[in-house]
Amino acid sequence: MKNTNLAIIVYSMSGTNYQMAKWAKAAAEEKGANVRLVKVQELAPDAVVQGNEVWKNTTEMMKDVALASSDDIEWADAIIFSAPTRFGNVPSQLKQFIDIQGPIWSQGKTMNKVVSAMTSAGNMHGGHEATIVSLYTSMMHWGAIIVPPAYTDEVIYKAGGNPYGTSVTVDQNGQMIEDVKDAVYHQTVRTLEIANKVK
């Protein structure tokens, strides 16, 4: 997997999806992949972000993470998205990033990218599966090759059993309820294995 390029594209408001993205990065680097961990542009007004202590702290924590660009998509053999649920859909920040890839999509530069996704929500039925599936719908339009973790390893069950992508419930104190680190590692390695075969 040493010649496989993985872009991990993250949006995080509370730090949960950033942590999942960092676990994915560590797993990929252990396998020798080339990794870019990048964030999408924040769209919320600064006054709103600064008025929420958790959001503000996460923004500060991620200040040195590079902004995602079309170049990251073109460079990547595989892409892992990590973002929270928003009313059963992807956050507007990530949706805008996807929407502005029209120029490279029209040139066929999104085709055959191997893609997987992870998410989080504040409760067990807060849109985990719907969020990932909605993102995968866009990936079908991209011509990407979607690689869900499915039930390919026992760690999926330990993490809550989501076959679409690793998802985690976060409690009122911002703590992850399910133990998902191993599931993130497995999903990352599976994504890289398929990308390596495609490449």
Place of tokens 């993490």: 159
Asked whether 177 and 169 are in contact (CB, 8 A), the reply is yes
State mean pLDDT over 69-94. Answer: 97
What pLDDT score was predicted for residue 87? 92
> Quick one: what percent of the chain has pLDDT higher than 70?
100
State mean pLDDT over 127-155. Answer: 97
Q: Is pLDDT above 90 for 197?
A: yes
Residue in 73, 77, 72, 85 with CA at minimum distance from that of residue 191: 77
Contacts of 29 (CB under 8 A, 6+ apart): 35
- Give per-residue pLDDT as tens, 151-161: 999 999 999 99
> Quick one: what percent of the chain has pLDDT higher than 90?
95
What pLDDT score was predicted for residue 84? 97
What pLDDT score was predicted for residue 2? 78
Domain count of the fold of the chain? 1
Q: Is pLDDT above 80 for 99?
A: yes
Its domain, for residue 99, covers 5-198
Q: Is pLDDT above 80 for 114?
A: yes
Contacts of 47 (CB under 8 A, 6+ apart): none
State mean pLDDT over 188-198. Answer: 97
What pLDDT score was predicted for residue 113? 98
- CB count, 10 Å around CB of 179? 12
- Give per-residue pLDDT as tens, 13-67: 999 999 999 999 999 999 999 999 999 999 999 999 999 999 999 999 999 999 9
Asked whether 67 and 41 are in contact (CB, 8 A), the reply is yes
Tokens of 167: 């998802």
Q: Is pLDDT above 80 for 1?
A: no
- CB count, 10 Å around CB of 37? 22
* Residue predicted with more confidence, 69 or 173: 69
State mean pLDDT over 83-95. Answer: 96
Task: For residue 187, give the CATH number of its domain.
Answer: 3.40.50.360
